[in-house]
Amino acid sequence: MKDLIQSLEWRYACKKMNGKQVPQEKLDRILKSVQLAPTSMGFQPFQVLLITDSELREKILPIANRQSQITQCSHLLVFAAWSNFSMAQVDDYIRLISETRQQPLESLEGFRAALAGIINNNTPEYLFQWSARQVYLAFGFAIAAAATEEVDCTPMEGFDARALDKFLDLEKQGLKSVCMLPLGYRDADSDKLANMPKVRRPLDQVITHNFNLEQETIS
């Protein structure tokens, strides 16, 4: 495994893939990073669909504006946020904490009440947006993990989410698609971006050191 910064320097949003398969052990580590990603209260209100079937990906291609990585990749990950919430989900999570940490359920009542407050005191749209933000945490971890494995990927938002949800029947599963991540290997000969320098704002423009409220407003 390479140094993280070297890995992030190496990665880019791959535009053309060569169809080479990602080894199972590399895929497993990328998926494990999704599972281990931080989320608000550790709740993980999302699901990741792993799609390898070539016919299925061919049908997704027009939904994704015919971005070629959909069919050229080895594996396609669809990140979907929960769109329906219930106390059953809260109770499942509380039981998991109890079993994993060997804590009595009674000791988790305060935490259960805090989660219940989020579920019961907010609108469905707020809850979906909250869960979508948790998706992006896991999404970022998957991208970084792929880089450390020297597996290319393409972060994607450019697709018709409603059409994808209908095609994958996500509504019945209480899910809405948020983003997709094709995994594979770059076709450096046909991808003009493969050997171009990474373009990022200078670090001192991205990071503000020693911030205080007395500084002049940046315009």
Q: What is the pLDDT of residues 146-156, one digit of tens each?
A: 999 999 999 99
Average pLDDT estimate for 28-33: 98
What pLDDT, on a 0 to 100 scale, did the predictor assign at position 214?
Answer: 73
Structural contact between residues 48 and 78, judged by C-beta atoms closer than 8 angstroms: yes
Question: Where does the pLDDT of residue 212 fall: very low under 50, low under 70, confident under 90, or very high at 90 and above?
Answer: confident
Q: The whole model's pTM is what? A: 0.94
Average pLDDT estimate for 173-184: 98
Residue predicted with more confidence, 215 or 55: 55
Cα separation of 57 and 164, whole Å?
11
Residues 4-84+127-206, CATH architecture = 3-Layer(aba) Sandwich (3.40)
Average pLDDT estimate for 79-90: 96
Separate counts of helices (H) and strands (E) for the chain: 9, 4
Domain ranges of the chain: 4-84+127-206
